[in-house]
Amino acid sequence: MPLFSSTYTNRVDKKGRVSVPASFRSTLPGDDQSIAIFPSLVSKAIEGFDYSYLEHISDRLNNFDMLTSPSLTPSPAAKILSRSMTISCDADGRIVLPQDFIRHAGITDRALFVGLGRTFQIWAPEEYDAVMLQSEGV
């Protein structure tokens, strides 16, 4: 089970490529250097995790969706799973962030990877700093 910790800021090139921190890649299982991502439902960030965690989310959402009202559209599963993507790291450890994900997070030339244990987030550094200052009541 991967454990993502610490924070790293990496440059994003014009094609949307960014290096996934080496410590994050080293926690991925086996030789599979891919991650799953989707635009956060609660913040201007991109949520990230390994594929097994996406399966865990799917299992939990499928159970939840059976208990929800049909009038709730889109379902929680649709909000997350339909927008999720699995992307592989290239030989240099980079991924290409989809343009709509970049717009959602407000990422321009730098991306901040924030380890959250089994998951991580990718933020525009200035957006993350603003959220952290606000949470501290500054």
Q: What is the pLDDT of residues 72-113, one digit of tens each?
A: 566 666 788 889 999 999 999 999 999 999 999 999 999 999
In a domain, 1, yes or no: no
How high is the mean pLDDT of the chain? 88
pLDDT at 66: 55
State pTM to two decimals. 0.87
Cα–Cα distance for residue pair 118/5, rounded to 1 Å: 9
Residue 35 resides in a domain = yes
Q: Is residue 122 part of a domain?
A: yes
Q: Which long-range contacts link 9-14 to residues 24+ away (Cβ below 8 Å)?
A: 9/110, 9/111, 9/112, 9/113, 9/125, 10/110, 10/111, 10/113, 11/109, 11/110, 12/97, 12/102, 12/107, 12/108, 12/109, 12/110, 12/111
Q: Are 107 and 116 spatial neighbours (Cβ–Cβ below 8 Å)?
A: no
Query: What is the extent of the structural domain holding 86?
Result: 7-135
In a domain, 2, yes or no: no
d(CA 3, CA 83): 23
Judge whether residue 35 has pLDDT over 60: yes
Q: Does the bond joining 125 to the residue before it have cis omega, within 30 degrees of 0? A: no
In a domain, 77, yes or no: yes
Looking at the structure of the chain, the number of domains it has is: 1
